[in-house]
Amino acid sequence: MRDLFQQELREVQDQLVSIAELVASSITDAVEAFNKSDVTLAESVIARDNQIDDAVVQLDEQAITILARQSPVAKDLRIVVSALRISSSLERMGDMAEHLAQLARYRFPEKVVPKTIRPTFKEMGSLDIGMANMLVELLRNGDTDLAQKIRDEDDKVDALHLSVFETVLSDTWSQETETTVDATLASRYLERFADHAVSIAKKMVYLATGEWNPQTGAIQL
Amino acid sequence: MRDLFQQELREVQDQLVSIAELVASSITDAVEAFNKSDVTLAESVIARDNQIDDAVVQLDEQAITILARQSPVAKDLRIVVSALRISSSLERMGDMAEHLAQLARYRFPEKVVPKTIRPTFKEMGSLDIGMANMLVELLRNGDTDLAQKIRDEDDKVDALHLSVFETVLSDTWSQETETTVDATLASRYLERFADHAVSIAKKMVYLATGEWNPQTGAIQL
């Protein structure tokens, strides 16, 4: 019985890693679709989002079954509840990648943002991809040093997000309104993607240490 | 023991209602602050968000304690897990209200959006307030007819959200870039607020009926 339980817990963790891998693929493809105006890639991201959503539903069902059948306590309970919370953040990260891909598809064959600001978006995109890959590792091996790295990367994303607004609001910006709207939304999607990564990283630290600092965010578990 | 458990469950439900009331107050004040450019009201919304976040952390701790001590199954388990999910959506609804208030404060003494588009925002705001109030009732009395009403209201919010983009992208729009950015973000916050309300409504239907349709959204529990 105990062995079965531990195996079920491992399966939940494996599933989280699988979903994180799907999300990492999605953001990688979405960023490339966005940067290069690749509509085929954009469509593959949009299609993959259903797969992510289905995997999240499946994981949630499994986690709830474990709660019902095994009545875990202490650390085991923390793992199951955290899995439910982490899957929810991963699902949102998938949505952000999808939104980015939708912008790329909608604007095709044009690029979404103009040349001057493209390097900023490229950098934000790379940071998001890097964070998604670190998240896969963090979920796989629980190395909490990665959690701190993810937070550091998020600071960079936030700074770039602000710089997008500075550029858009500067006197030199002479773009169509549509471009302003799209740049605003794209930047917000990239920034929110990073926020969710941090939120998961915090939950993993909590899982590893049992400690959290309520000042740094509302829901830590 | 059993009585204590039922009392604990009721406390969790009461806490959800309290948080939903805080969120309803926040969106009511945020919409008014936004419409009337009332900086004092905007600041009260921003201050209230900490209160919402703290209440969410407290509720989550209580729900997890119940899972650990009482090992609920079946419907009771569904209630506790749903409470964790609902609190997370309420927390995000509070964030959306705060973001709207921040826009109002930032633009003070100016209004955030120009006269022509203000009626649209007013209507979206009213719909969001109505949805928040229905949510309080739904959480209080479990009347699932309200869930359907909330979904209907969300369709209206989505249509208005699209109409904001149509206006902003029309030839008659001749606003500063800053106004375009703010209108884009404000509309997105109001639309996301409504989405979270629907997400909670679906969870309440699931709680009442034990049924869900995975086609209508990723995480239904």
Closest CA to A82 of A221, A199, A213: A221
How far is residue B177's CA from residue B134's CA, in Å, rounded to a whole number?
A: 36
Mean pLDDT rounded to a whole number for chain A: 92
Q: Residue A130 and residue A122: Cα distance in Å, rounded?
A: 12
Q: How far apart are CA B83 and CA B99, in angstroms?
A: 24
Give the closest of A57, A81, A91 to B214, CB-based.
Answer: A57
What is the spatial distance between Cα B45 and Cα B100, in angstroms, rounded to a whole number?
9
Whether B67 maps to a domain, the answer reads yes
Q: Please state, as a whole number, how many other Cβ atoms lie within 10 Å of the Cβ of residue B210.
A: 10
B45: Cβ contacts below 8 Å, ≥ 6 apart = B26, B29, B30, B33, B97, B98, B100, B101
Distance separating alpha carbons of residues B44 and B49, to the nearest angstrom? 9
**ipTM for the whole complex:** 0.86
For chain B, residues with pLDDT lower than 50 are 212-221
Residue A10 located in a structural domain: yes
Instruction: Establish if A181 belongs to a structural domain.
Output: yes
Q: Write out pLDDT tens, residues B162-193.
A: 999 999 999 999 999 999 999 999 999 999 99
Task: Identify the residue whose tokens are 């699932």.
Answer: B144
DSSP B70: H
* Distance (Å, whole) CA B163 – CA B45: 27
CA angle at B33 for the pair A166 and B22, rounded to the nearest 5°: 110
pTM of the model: 0.90
Q: Which amino acid is at A125?
A: G
Residue B25 lies in a domain: yes
Q: Which of B85, B19, B205 is nearest to A91 (CA)?
A: B85
Which helix H or strand E contains A43, and what residues bound it? helix A39-70
CB contact under 8 A, A73 and B68: yes
CB contact under 8 A, B181 and A180: yes
Over the stretch A69-112, which tens digit does the pLDDT of each residue have? Answer: 999 998 899 999 999 999 999 999 999 999 999 999 999 999 99
> Which residues are CB-contacts of B173 (< 8 A; sequence separation ≥ 6)?
A177, B167, B180
Tens-place pLDDT, residues B131-168: 999 999 999 999 989 999 999 999 999 999 999 999 99
CB A191 within 8 A of CB A158: yes
Q: How far is A65 from chain B (nearest CA, A)?
A: 9
Q: Which two tokens stand for residue A62?
A: 């499994």
Residue B221 lies in a domain: no
Please report, for the domain that includes residue A48, its CATH number. 1.20.58.220
User: What are the Cα distances from residue B19, in Å, to A11, A149, B59, B124, B192?
Assistant: 34, 33, 9, 22, 18
Whole-number Å distance between alpha carbons of A209 and B5? 29
The structural domain count of chain A equals 1
Which structural domain range is residue B14 located in?
Answer: 2-216
**Interface test mutation site (partner B, options A61, A90, A184, max chain B beta carbons within 10 A):** A184
Q: What is the predicted pLDDT for the residue at B218?
A: 34
Contact A185 B181 (CB under 8 A): no
Residue of A nearest to B213 (CA): A57
Q: Is residue B126, in this structure, part of any structural domain at all?
A: yes
Question: A212 pLDDT band (50/70/90 cuts)?
Answer: very low
Contact between B139 and B13 (Cβ < 8 Å):
yes
Q: What is the pLDDT of residue A220?
A: 36
